[in-house]
């Protein structure tokens, strides 16, 4: 069941978001390849050190006049087309640990009921889309965040993703963002202005796990992994110290040890 959440009445400049995401993740854009240079060993099959990574699929959906009636066949068409795009994007990254869908729903239909109606329609669309994706991805699909707006310069779902991703304190590329280039740059195009908007209507919708909960989950896995590695390193260091101490003792007392081992047996009369 979709749940809505409020977002600020101002947006974040799109290319600032793109540059930050490029620094913090392995960003795969169809139409252009962008990889973080710190990950020289990153191959194109989506694996990192032989392990599958979490994948964020970003999609921009533009509703240009689709009927907002709940039973509209056009909603089904929009859903089917979006499922195909998402599955195609997932097909470019190889082994997938789990999947989170981040989707910006841009309503350009000029409906008479305004933003509230757009949110309702986007909610029905998100619920249907999630159910269809679940059939193909199963438990790998963890959740979906949808950002709703009617302004081409606004990308609310991308800003939700950014708020979590930019907290990363390293550039290890532990997850992949897969998207089409035009979706990431926005419908206005890469060569047009992408300024932030001071006053806008935008709303978030979640289906399944919230994005920040999902992201914090694999952040927690990273921290636990680091703790385990530290413990293993400490154990190895302690073992090495013990061996060195034993070697010093043997070197210092070797004559006495040899005499003790090969001493004359003592018999009791």
pLDDT tens-digit map of 193-226:
667 788 888 999 999 999 988 888 765 555 444 4
List pLDDT tens digits, range 159-185: 999 988 877 665 555 678 889 888 888
Phi, psi of 63 (to 5 degrees): -100, 105
Does residue 257 or residue 249 have the better pLDDT?
249
Instruction: Report whether pLDDT(39) > 50.
Output: no
Pair 146, 25: CB distance under 8 Å: no
Q: How confident is the model at residue 28 (pLDDT cuts 50, 70, 90)?
A: confident
Phi-psi domain of 190 (left: phi exceeds 0; alpha: psi -120 through 50; beta: other): alpha
Does the global pTM surpass 0.85?
Answer: no
Does residue 252 or residue 1 have the better pLDDT?
1
Q: How confident is the model at residue 104 (pLDDT cuts 50, 70, 90)?
A: very high
Does residue 228 or residue 204 have the better pLDDT?
204
- Burial status of residue 255 (CB atoms within 10 A of its CB: 0-12, 13-18, 19 or more): exposed
- Please state the domain extents for the chain: 3-209, 227-261
Distance between CA atoms of residues 110 and 63, nearest Å: 10
Instruction: Report whether pLDDT(102) > 80.
Output: yes
- Burial status of residue 235 (CB atoms within 10 A of its CB: 0-12, 13-18, 19 or more): exposed
Poorest-pLDDT segment among 53-57, 62-66, 73-77, 152-156: 62-66
Handedness of CA 222, 36, 83, 192 (dihedral sign): positive
Over residues 39-50, mean pLDDT: 45
Instruction: Give pLDDT, residue 207.
Output: 95
Beta-bridge partner residues of 182: none
Instruction: Give the rounded distance of the alpha carbon of 22 from its chain centre.
Output: 12
Share of the chain above pLDDT 90, in %: 25
Collect all residues with Cβ–Cβ distance below 8 Å to 94 and sequence separation of at least 6.
44, 45, 46, 47, 52
Does residue 172 or residue 238 have the better pLDDT?
238
């Amino acid at each position: 069941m979709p749940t809505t959440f409020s977002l600020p009445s101002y947006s974040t400049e799109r290319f600032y978001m793109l540059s930050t995401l490029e620094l913090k993740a392995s960003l795969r854009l169809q139409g252009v390849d962008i990889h973080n240079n710190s990950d020289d060993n990153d191959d194109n099959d989506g694996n990192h050190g032989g392990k599958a990574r979490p994948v964020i699929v970003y999609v921009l959906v533009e509703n240009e006049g689709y009927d907002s009636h709940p039973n509209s066949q056009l909603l089904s068409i929009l859903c089917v087309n979006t499922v195909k795009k998402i599955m195609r994007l997932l097909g470019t990254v190889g082994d997938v640990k789990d999947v989170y869908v981040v989707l910006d729903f841009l309503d350009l239909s000029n409906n008479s009921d305004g933003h509230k109606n757009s949110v309702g329609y986007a909610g029905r669309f998100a619920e249907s889309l999630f159910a269809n994706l679940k059939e193909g991805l199963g438990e790998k699909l963890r959740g979906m965040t949808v950002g709703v707006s009617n302004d081409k310069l606004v990308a609310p779902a991308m800003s939700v993703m950014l708020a979590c991703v930019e907290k990363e304190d390293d550039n290890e590329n532990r997850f992949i963002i897969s998207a089409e280039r035009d979706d990431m740059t926005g419908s206005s195009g890469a060569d047009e202005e992408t300024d932030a908007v001071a006053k806008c209507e935008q709303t978030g919708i979640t289906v399944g796990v919230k994005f920040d909960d999902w992201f914090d989950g694999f952040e927690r896995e990273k921290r636990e992994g680091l703790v385990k590695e530290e413990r293993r390193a400490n154990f190895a260091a302690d073992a090495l110290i013990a061996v060195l101490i034993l070697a010093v003792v043997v070197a210092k007392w070797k004559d006495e040890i040899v005499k003790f081992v090969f001493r004359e047996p003592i018999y009791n009369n």
